[in-house]
Structure 1
């Protein structure tokens, strides 16, 4: 069964610019790029790279990056926008790379798209070099538990609160905006944390980032709900 990405690919391409959407530009990009820094990593794998925007950002920091993406139209767009880039068809659940191939593996808002995320995390860990980092940006469970319903509003349309329901259940939901309709997955934070720990990873960074710029209306809305989580997990170095 389709998760909606092939049907929504063109709408996504039309809606996402080089600066990304508001949340990427003002909330997630700053903290993700800060974690990457300068000179920390030599090569990276971007899992679910989409149209390749973050791959191009990684390249601008001096990191050699491979992007994998299962949606043909998104992959074609990535290659067209960056002809010298390395973009390949692939899925997170079965990475076609040797073990210990990358200093850095990035999952930028992709785990919520993956039904078998446990296998995906295991594969991401496998291709990490000892001492390498898995950098994750994801929706928080507080946001995804009510994302299908959205804000509860008063009779004048003003947002009252964002609902949380069935938090401990892992379940798929359909999310749509701007002509895009895709299947996402809600999971409690514990499901992710347990999976990373079972893979032998060590948590080195955790944040529920606030916006650092942008218009006041968006900033106030993103402060009311802990929308995203950014985590860096390290594969222990061999002693």
Structure 2
């Protein structure tokens, strides 16, 4: 399923007001950990799947990457990317992540930030990414944590006074489509277990080099105190993987 909720005017208007939309990577609680998972970027050919506003595209070019292709299904996202984060070496393409069909060895690094939970065929995209990477290439991604996606409600359990008591986890082993509520809209996401996320990489041929479950950086918590409860359960899973130099 290739849902393009981000081109819905009302949904996009709500998304455009989120801190990470306004301030970019500095407002992304997981960014500091994600950044340290990246390999040296100088002279790398990079593909950004689900590039959104293009913040990561601009970052890799600032680190002297050779080029970056930012891909997104949303034309509204790409309009903002071209407006905010354009420049030499950056190319933006409107295409679904599932449809990538680059020649073998086209990129040295593939990144994806908070997009894979919208993809139905995770196993397929892992194989496609593996194929388009050069030998020794890297794949680094973030996705919503399975603890977060297990229940479609994606909300805390509250007491009668409205206090957040705990984060419920149920139906964890039921890997399937979830219709969740995000920015006052129904949005389709796909829940997978941690095992499925990691084994999908191994089955495609990758070697997993690092796994992280970050909480917001102190500077982000100081600026956005409403994120304090994000330290009580993981919201994101970050994974770094490598295609072997010899296969």
Alignment of 1:210 onto 2:215: yes
Equivalent-residue separation in structure 2 for 1:204 and 1:196 (angstroms): 11
* Structure 1 range deviating more: 85-94 or 9-18: 9-18
Unaligned runs of 5+ in 1: none
Aligned match of 2:233 = 225
Match of 2:15 among 7, 12, 23: 12
Query: Contact 1:11 / 1:180 at 8 angstroms: preserved in 2?
Result: no
SS of equivalent to 2:31: helix
After TM superposition, give the deviation of residue 27 of structure 1 in Å: 2.8
Query: Contact 1:41 / 1:104 at 8 angstroms: preserved in 2?
Result: no
Alignment of 1:77 onto 2:80: yes
Aligned match of 1:150 = 155
Query: Contact 1:51 / 1:77 at 8 angstroms: preserved in 2?
Result: yes
After TM superposition, give the deviation of residue 130 of structure 1 in Å: 0.8
* Structure 1 range deviating more: 30-39 or 200-209: 30-39
Aligned match of 1:28 = 30
Instruction: Please provide the CA RMSD for this pair.
Output: 2.3
Aligned match of 1:106 = 111
Alpha-carbon distance change, 118 to 41 in structure 1, aligned in 2, over 3 angstroms: farther
Equivalent-residue separation in structure 2 for 1:11 and 1:57 (angstroms): 25
Equivalent-residue separation in structure 2 for 1:180 and 1:45 (angstroms): 29
Alignment of 1:48 onto 2:17: no
Alignment of 1:195 onto 2:200: yes
Query: Contact 2:210 / 2:241 at 8 angstroms: preserved in 1?
Result: yes
Instruction: Write the deviation string for residues 102-153 of structure 1: whole angstroms up to 9, x where unpaired.
Output: 1110011111011122211111111111101100111111111135241000
Query: Contact 2:41 / 2:60 at 8 angstroms: preserved in 1?
Result: no
Structure 1 length as normaliser, TM-score? Answer: 0.89
SS of equivalent to 1:105: strand
Equivalent-residue separation in structure 1 for 2:111 and 2:198 (angstroms): 16
Unaligned runs of 5+ in 2: none
Aligned match of 1:120 = 125
Query: Contact 1:56 / 1:82 at 8 angstroms: preserved in 2?
Result: yes
* Structure 1 range deviating more: 37-46 or 134-143: 37-46
Query: Contact 2:30 / 2:217 at 8 angstroms: preserved in 1?
Result: no
After TM superposition, give the deviation of residue 28 of structure 1 in Å: 1.3
